[in-house]
């Protein structure tokens, strides 16, 4: 059966059209997230909205940086309507374009990287970014697929870390791990079934912490590429943790001398 020709006889270049679309803008909200975005020279900012009280709190420690968009006065009710009733905006919102993801080659001198294997919940990714920032991680690495895009939810959960900790995005996680290993990193995978318990130490060597999604854990290919597989020792009746909590324990352990 012959297919019906498209109007005008032109082929469908859907994927090319998608690639040519500009980055999707979104709102970052919350005092810490917005202040970090304003202070980030790599961040493209489009619209800045704040209540008088939020503006005062934003500028308590330092004036707004150069390049801040002109302020639009607003009210909590207006922000609720714009962002949704569940958004904890604290009276401030900033419309932005997503940050460009960093190439892996930018971190050849790094010491500590967090790798996420198909962790898709933006709340978890944001919380892990916040913890990674607190423990001095050089970057967070995810795959281009099976990873959340940048959103206001992620930025709020990261509490500013989204604009501080570089975000690496790779097509193939296995290739990226092998590249890191060639640079001298040891990849430590966390698996509840691992024979070895997590012990403190590891800060003296270049380390990549590898965490899998809740429920599924690390994929088999990812497990096979890890230099070590370790588990968290939990004597209580619950033997698993939310991945963001596991990341905090893992980072604390590997950064202890």
Mean pLDDT computed over every residue of the chain? 88
Q: Which of 59, 60, 52 is nearest to 38 (CA)?
A: 59
Residues near 236 by Cβ (< 8 Å), separated by ≥ 6? none
pLDDT of residue 5: 42
Name the segment(s) of the chain with CATH classification 3.30.1330. 26-96
Place of tokens 């690639």: 19
Query: Looking at domain 26-96, does it have CATH number 3.30.70?
Result: no
Q: Is the pLDDT of residue 2 over 80?
A: no
CATH superfamily of 104-254: SPOUT methyltransferase, trefoil knot domain (3.40.1280.10)
7 φ/ψ angles, rounded to the nearest 5 degrees? -55, 130
Residue among 94, 146, 156 nearest 119 (CA): 146
Q: What is the pTM of this model?
A: 0.86
Q: Start-end ranges of CATH 3.40.1280.10 in the chain?
A: 104-254
Q: Give me the helices (H) in the chain, please.
A: 14-20, 31-39, 52-58, 76-83, 122-134, 152-158, 173-182, 220-225, 243-254
Single out the residue of 195, 225, 200 nearest to residue 210, CA to CA. Answer: 225
User: Cβ(189)–Cβ(208) under 8 Å?
Assistant: no
- CA separation for the pair 207, 221 (Å, rounded): 19
Q: List Cα–Cα distances, 232 to 54, 117, 192, 211, in angstroms.
A: 41, 18, 7, 12
The model's pLDDT over 14-45, given as tens digits with 9 standing for 90+, comes to 334 334 445 588 999 999 999 999 999 999 99
Give the per-residue pLDDT at 3.
Answer: 42
- Of 249 and 233, the structure prediction assigns the larger pLDDT to 249
Closest CA to 249 of 206, 199, 208, 204: 199
């Amino acid at each position: 059966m012959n297919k019906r020709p498209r109007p005008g006889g032109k082929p469908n270049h859907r994927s090319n059209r998608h690639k040519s679309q500009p980055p999707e803008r979104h709102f970052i909200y919350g005092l810490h997230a917005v202040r970090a975005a304003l202070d980030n020279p790599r961040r493209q900012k489009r619209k800045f909205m704040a209540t008088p009280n939020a503006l005062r709190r934003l500028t308590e420690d330092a004036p707004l940086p150069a390049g801040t968009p002109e302020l639009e006065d607003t009210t909590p009710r207006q922000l609720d309507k714009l962002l949704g009733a569940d958004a904890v905006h604290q009276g401030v919102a900033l419309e932005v374009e997503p940050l460009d993801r960093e190439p892996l080659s930018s971190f050849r001198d790094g010491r500590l990287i967090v790798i996420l294997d198909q962790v898709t919940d933006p709340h978890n990714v944001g919380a892990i970014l916040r913890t990674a920032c607190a423990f001095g991680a050089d970057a967070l690495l995810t795959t281009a697929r099976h990873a959340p895009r940048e959103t206001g939810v992620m930025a709020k959960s990261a509490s500013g870390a989204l604009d501080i900790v570089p975000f690496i995005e790779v097509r193939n996680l296995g290739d990226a791990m092998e590249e890191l290993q060639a640079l001298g990193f040891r990849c430590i995978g966390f698996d509840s079934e691992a024979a070895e318990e997590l012990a403190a130490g590891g800060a003296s060597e270049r380390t990549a912490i590898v965490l899998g999604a809740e429920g599924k854990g690390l994929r088999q290919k990812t497990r096979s590429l890890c230099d070590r597989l370790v588990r968290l020792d939990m004597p209580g009746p619950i033997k698993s943790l939310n991945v963001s909590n596991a990341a905090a324990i893992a980072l604390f352990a590997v950064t202890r001398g």
